């Protein structure tokens, strides 16, 4: 069999010259050949590696379950992170408690790593009475003040100026401990907000980290139709923002790069821009069929560098994991997910009176009248778990 890819198949880069500048190179900790070797040796506590594996695995299993629930009509929409888990999980493990996160579509899971209960997280996906957002947001557009994560607005890119502004505000207040982290997809880099945010962050040295998950697609649009730049990371250079490209399928590389960027931010050195090079193994969302625009051969080539198998191989290699412990973990995680779904789905829909909350301190007369009329109506029967 020839090693040459079929025409049009985009394969992951290999054997990049280690002397390339960081915006053009590819920072790795784990080798990408499945050998489980570490190619660089940052001192990473093994408990971080074990937590990274646990959460990537949780997210992989959770995404699969959520897609099934969506297909069954129990969830309205879902944006999976399959194949890209190393970016949110590696980042989450590098954050300090006081940091704020401004997510795009595929980073809600950071809230789980930062302590949100799985059933509370799922209540947001169901949009029910247990949801801290009162059922007002789409699944995968979640947030929680308790874990300092801000909801995504769905307009790609708007979260970036918000994150830079929040970082700048912390700096103006003289609080050196807070940094913000914002995410954007490769498609989002074509939005004006991306450029506004990077420019402002660079000029005012805002303590933030902006992370572009280059998953090779903006729905069906590929990087070569998105940019003529050699990499996304190089765009940061134009704004005077230190930038680097990281292997987004290597959770230890993401963790280490983000931890260093956060340290720079807290040290008063300003922003960092990180491109994490990865691949969206799943569909764009539950409303997409990727077989219309890419081949299975390409998906398989990237799947061979799966972030889950890579960190697993490393843990086995270093004696921290074996098949038996892994099976036990999988069993535990599936049980945890099953119990959390049952707990979350037991909630009914949000109380209709909450429709009038959180906008006015005192309801204007016309809304007060509408509320009275709505509350006088008989209850609407809602099929259990199918109100979406
Ligand atoms: C301002 C704006 N334009 C267009 C869209 C429609 N849209 C939704 S998702 C998407 C692609 C996003 O791709 P990317 O930023 O690479 O993120 P990914 O979904 O791949 O994680 C587009 C164009 C949108 N939501 N907002």
Q: Is 9 exposed, middle or buried (0-12, 13-18, 19+ CB in 10 A)?
A: middle
Strand partners, 276: 213, 246
Whether residue 74 is found in the same domain as residue 140 = yes
Give the pLDDT of residue 17. 82
Atom of ligand 1 nearest to the CA of 157: 1
- Within-domain flag for 266: yes
Give the pLDDT of residue 383. 57
Report whether 160 contacts 210 (CB < 8 A): yes
Per DSSP, helices labelled H in the chain are 46-71, 86-94, 110-113, 118-126, 159-172, 192-204, 223-226, 251-266, 296-303, 307-317, 323-345, 365-376
Question: In the block, which residue shows the tokens 């930062």?
Answer: 114
- Within-domain flag for 324: yes
- Within-domain flag for 12: no
Whether residue 288 is found in the same domain as residue 180 = yes
Atom of ligand 1 nearest to the CA of 156: 26
Whether residue 230 is found in the same domain as residue 290 = yes
- Within-domain flag for 235: yes
Q: What is the pLDDT along the chain (388 residues), one digit of tens a residue?
A: 445 555 556 777 777 888 899 999 999 999 877 677 778 888 899 999 999 999 999 999 999 999 999 999 999 999 999 999 999 999 999 999 999 999 999 999 999 999 999 999 999 999 999 999 999 999 999 999 999 999 999 999 999 999 999 999 999 999 999 999 999 999 999 999 999 999 999 999 999 999 999 999 999 999 999 999 999 999 999 999 999 999 999 999 999 999 999 999 999 999 999 999 999 999 999 989 999 999 999 999 999 999 999 999 999 999 999 999 999 999 999 999 999 999 999 999 999 999 999 999 999 999 999 999 999 999 877 655 443 3
Rounded to an integer, what distance in angstroms lies between the CA atom of residue 87 and that of residue 250? 8
- Within-domain flag for 39: no
Give the pLDDT of residue 388. 32
- Within-domain flag for 4: no
Which one of 182, 218, 284 would you pick to mutate in the ligand 1 pocket, going by the greatest count of ligand atoms within 8 A of its CB?
218
User: Per the structure block, which two tokens stand in for 267?
Assistant: 């040290």
Report whether 57 contacts 308 (CB < 8 A): yes
Q: Of 262, 308, 263, 300, which Cα lies nearest the Cα of 281?
A: 300
- Within-domain flag for 19: no
Separation of CA 154 and ligand 1 centre (Å): 8
Whether residue 68 is found in the same domain as residue 168 = yes
Give the pLDDT of residue 386. 41
Whether residue 253 is found in the same domain as residue 356 = no
- CA–chain centroid gap for 318, Å, is 28
Q: Of 190, 185, 199, 200, which Cα lies nearest the Cα of 237?
A: 199
Atom of ligand 1 nearest to the CA of 280: 20
User: Per the structure block, which two tokens stand in for 116?
Assistant: 């949100």
Q: pTM for the complete prediction?
A: 0.94
| Minimum CA distance residue for ligand 1 atom 2 | 155
The three-state (H, E, C) secondary structure of 273-290, written as one string: EEEEECCCCCCCCCCCCH
Rounded to an integer, what distance in angstroms lies between the CA atom of residue 343 and that of residue 354? 22
Cα atoms found within 13 Å of the Cα of residue 132, Cβ hemisphere only = 17
**Within 6 Å (CB) of ligand 1, which residues are found?**
105-106, 154-156, 185-188, 191, 213, 215, 217-219, 280, 284
Whether residue 215 is found in the same domain as residue 361 = no
| Minimum CA distance residue for ligand 1 atom 19 | 218
| Residue 280 appears among annotated catalytic residues | yes
Separation of CA 183 and ligand 1 centre (Å): 12
Q: Catalytic pick from 114, 141, 280, 305?
A: 280
Give the pLDDT of residue 9. 66
Q: The domain that contains 152 carries what CATH number?
A: 3.40.50.970
Q: Catalytic pick from 71, 225, 293, 325?
A: 293
Whether residue 375 is found in the same domain as residue 272 = no
Whether residue 337 is found in the same domain as residue 214 = yes
Separation of CA 150 and ligand 1 centre (Å): 18
Whether residue 247 is found in the same domain as residue 356 = no
Whether residue 270 is found in the same domain as residue 373 = no
Give the pLDDT of residue 31. 87
- Within-domain flag for 333: yes
Give the domain range for residue 382.
Answer: 351-388
| Minimum CA distance residue for ligand 1 atom 25 | 155
User: Per the structure block, which two tokens stand in for 78?
Assistant: 């879902």
Q: Catalytic pick from 114, 284, 310, 314?
A: 284
Whether residue 209 is found in the same domain as residue 172 = yes
Which one of 219, 232, 277, 281 would you pick to mutate in the ligand 1 pocket, going by the greatest count of ligand atoms within 8 A of its CB?
219
Phi-psi sector, 76: left (phi>0), alpha (psi -120 to 50), beta: alpha
Whether residue 385 is found in the same domain as residue 252 = no
**How many structural domains does the chain have?**
2
Rounded to an integer, what distance in angstroms lies between the CA atom of residue 303 and that of residue 31? 15
């Amino acid at each position: 069999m020839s090693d040459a890819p079929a025409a049009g198949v985009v394969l992951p880069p290999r054997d990049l010259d280690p002397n390339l500048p960081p915006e053009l190179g590819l920072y790795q900790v784990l080798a990408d050949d499945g050998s489980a070797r570490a190619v660089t040796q940052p001192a990473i506590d093994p408990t971080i590696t074990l937590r990274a594996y646990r959460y990537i695995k949780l997210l992989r299993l959770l995404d699969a379950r959520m897609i099934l629930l969506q297909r069954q009509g129990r969830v309205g929409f879902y944006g999976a992170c399959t194949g890209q888990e190393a970016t949110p999980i590696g980042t989450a493990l590098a954050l300090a408690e006081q940091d704020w996160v401004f997510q795009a579509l595929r980073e809600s899971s950071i809230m789980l790593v930062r302590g949100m209960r799985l059933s509370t997280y799922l209540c947001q996906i169901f949009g029910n009475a247990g949801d801290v957002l009162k059922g007002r947001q789409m699944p995968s557009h979640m947030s929680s003040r308790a874990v300092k994560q801000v909801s995504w607005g769905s307009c790609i890119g708007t979260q970036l100026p918000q994150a830079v502004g929040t970082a700048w505000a912390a700096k103006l207040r003289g609080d050196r401990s807070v940094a913000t982290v914002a995410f954007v997809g490769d498609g989002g880099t074509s939005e004006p907000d991306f450029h506004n945010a990077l420019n402002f962050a660079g000029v005012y040295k805002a303590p933030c980290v902006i992370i572009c998950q280059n998953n090779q697609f903006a729905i069906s649009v590929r990087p070569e139709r998105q940019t003529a730049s050699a990499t996304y990371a190089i765009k940061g250079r134009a704004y005077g923002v230190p930038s680097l490209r990281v292997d987004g399928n290597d959770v230890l590389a993401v963790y280490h790069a983000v931890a260093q960027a956060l340290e720079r931010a807290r040290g008063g050195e300003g922003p960092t821009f990180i491109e994490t090079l990865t691949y969206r193994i799943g569909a764009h969302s539950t409303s997409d069929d990727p077989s219309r625009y890419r081949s299975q051969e390409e998906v398989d080539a990237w799947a061979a560098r799966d972030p889950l198998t890579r960190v697993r191989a490393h843990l086995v290699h270093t004696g921290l994991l074996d098949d038996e412990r892994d099976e036990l973990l999988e069993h535990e995680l599936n049980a945890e997910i099953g119990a959390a779904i049952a707990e979350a789905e037991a909630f009914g829909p949000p109380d209709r009176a909450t429709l009038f909350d959180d906008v006015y301190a005192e309801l204007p007369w016309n809304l007060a009248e509408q509320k009275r009329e709505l509350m006088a109506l008989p209850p609407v029967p809602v099929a259990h778990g199918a109100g979406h």
